[in-house]
Chains A and B, each alone.
Chain A
Amino acid sequence: MAQSKTQFGYRRHADQDRTGANAAEYPVVVVGAGPVGLSLAIDLAQRGLPVVLLDDADRIGEGSRAICFSKRSLEVWDRLGVAQRMVDKGVVWKVGKIFLGKEMLYQFDLLPEDGHKMPAFINLQQYYAESYLVDRVQELPGIDLRWRNKVTGLEQHNDHAVLTIETPDGPYRLRAEYVAACDGARSALRGMVGAEFAGEVFEDQFLIADVKMTAEFPTERWFWFDPPFHSGQSALLHRQPDDVWRIDLQLGPDADPAIERLPENVRPRIERMLGHGDFKFEWISIYKFQCRRMQRFLHERVIFAGDSAHQVSPFGARGANSGLEDGENLAWKLAMVLRGDAPAALLASYEIERGLAADENIRASTRSTDFIAPHSKQERRLRQAVLSLAKEADFAKRMVNGGRLSVPSVYDSPLSSDDVDRWEGGPRPGAAMPDAPLTRANGEPIYLTESFKSAGGGFVLLESANGAAFDAPRDVGRIRVGAGAPLHDHAGLFARRYDATPGSAYLLRPDGYVAARFRHPTPVAIERAMARASGKG
């Protein structure tokens, strides 16, 4: 398999010599070096916290697995210093097409406007994403990544947790003020806190075959209902780097996975689809999926993020992307709490915000899955009615659901301050900041997300300048756009995307979500909104 740097070595750490009550103590231990754990660890380290990152394996997992990374995920990774590598290697795409039989029903464009640093989506094998994240981890002195360190025990205390960790040299213990459980769908820590993981199991089985071939298909997401090559079922074709193509075929509830996964049985299916046999298998997997979540993401000193906390079907690319959004939501909150800049209550907002997002992702994913695999005769009939109407009626096109792709949730959050002024557009409190193209005084282009990245990593006041700068609270970063300000909105897109009138300002949280916005900001109002967004309100 075309993987780079997948094997890592176990190294004994001095912490392993400490016994009993002498266990080494860290502010945060992150468990699980998948995309979520790696990204969270980088985010925490960039916020100045020393992090221990544990993984029970000593290699990056096989198979392409998650391949679609969203604009939001790339914006997070850009902040973490790894996005450019991902975009350079990845396949950039934004158009999806839906077919019924041989005929195209409709197509959609996920980013129909310019002026964003990051594309709508890239496709990139998960092993590349993880490998680039590991490289970034190794650049940061603050992260101690320990392979073949398997968490086997957990003790919760008032103000810390103690982990028992199994290694090739035997067990040792670590104390952590907080443990971030990013240990995936089969999370061992979830079992250790005794939490349930309940939800809906879907009976239909799907076959993933990643094949290597040279092909002329465009770089688009193609989804078929009832294709001529796979009658009565659905199919998906999507391009990855290195001439690898993701093919996903619905097999129905009765297929025998042991038989279906044999390459000699997969091959004729793919040949029927492609019309030739000139390909090699990269990865074959048969899966069923579940939509489920933990009731609570916070269990005393253990905080769950990513697949350990919630799981969705793959249609919509909401698995890894929502996990990365968990990480960006958690990182700044944990950092503020551990630095003593915010009360521990701020962490409750992680559970509220990301719990709502999980519900939204599960809802969207369940709807797609139900449309792709109807439960009853009548459900199938309604689905067929939508598909056949879609050929001539616009309303039915919009009901055709081959996966609604991941977009960041808008949080109804206790951290947000309600609008008091009139806004005709722009992101409302609880929404992620949209990007916009700007220029510096010397004419050099810069994206808004880039200036956010260099604005200090804390709360940031994004102002549409109106004359001289006013006194803002000391600990808030500033981005000033407009006449007489360091940045210019030459294309007018900032003004349009933020409904920005001179003098107005947005207060952005450290994760780039809007905390509050003001037509006429005052230091007192900003101070109050910041306190609220820090869990002090």
Chain B
Amino acid sequence: MALSTKSNFTDPDAAYRLIVEAHRGISDAQSADLDAALVLVLANHIGDLDVLREAIALAQRRMVAAGQQQQQQQ
């Protein structure tokens, strides 16, 4: 199975909102803790090492791209 990057939620705004609200009113450290647990829960739900690997690669590509953009703005 390949990583699906098409929009899977009928209401993507609601999904985004749900995640944002989970982080409202907590410290950065607590947010990081929450994210760590969430990543593990969702990774297990996916249950596929190849999909997980692709998801990590996508997240890492974005990190590189974001870093370059920042440099250009300086």
Contacts and interface: CB of A to CB of B under 8 A. Distances in A.
Q: By CB atoms of chain A within 10 A, which of B33, B37, B41 has the most?
A: B37
Interface of A: 378, 381-382, 384-386, 388-389, 393, 395-396, 399
A382 B36 contact: yes
The binding surface of chain B is classed by DSSP as helix
Nearest to B43: A395
Given A385-B37, A388-B37, A378 B32 contact: yes
A11 B39 CA distance: 65
B65 interface: no
B40 interface: yes
Given A381-B33, A386-B40, 10 more contacts: A381-B32, A382-B36, A384-B36, A385-B39, A385-B40, A388-B37, A389-B37, A389-B40, A389-B41, A399-B40
B60 interface: no
12 contacts: A381-B32, A381-B36, A382-B39, A382-B40, A384-B36, A385-B33, A385-B36, A388-B37, A389-B37, A389-B41, A395-B44, A396-B44
Interface of B: 32-33, 36-37, 39-41, 44
Contact of A378 (B36, B40, B41): B36
A393 B32 CA distance: 20
Contact of B33 (A384, A396, A399): A384
A385 B44 CA distance: 13
A438 B41 CA distance: 46
Contacts of A386: 40
B55 to A, nearest CB: 15
Contacts of B41: 389, 393
Contacts of B33: 381, 384-385
A24 B40 CA distance: 63
Contacts of B40: 382, 385-386, 389, 395-396, 399
A14 B37 CA distance: 69
A381 B33 CA distance: 6
Contacts of A378: 32, 36
Nearest to B34: A385
B6 to A, nearest CB: 26
A384 B33 CA distance: 8
A382 to B, nearest CB: 5
A386 B33 CA distance: 11
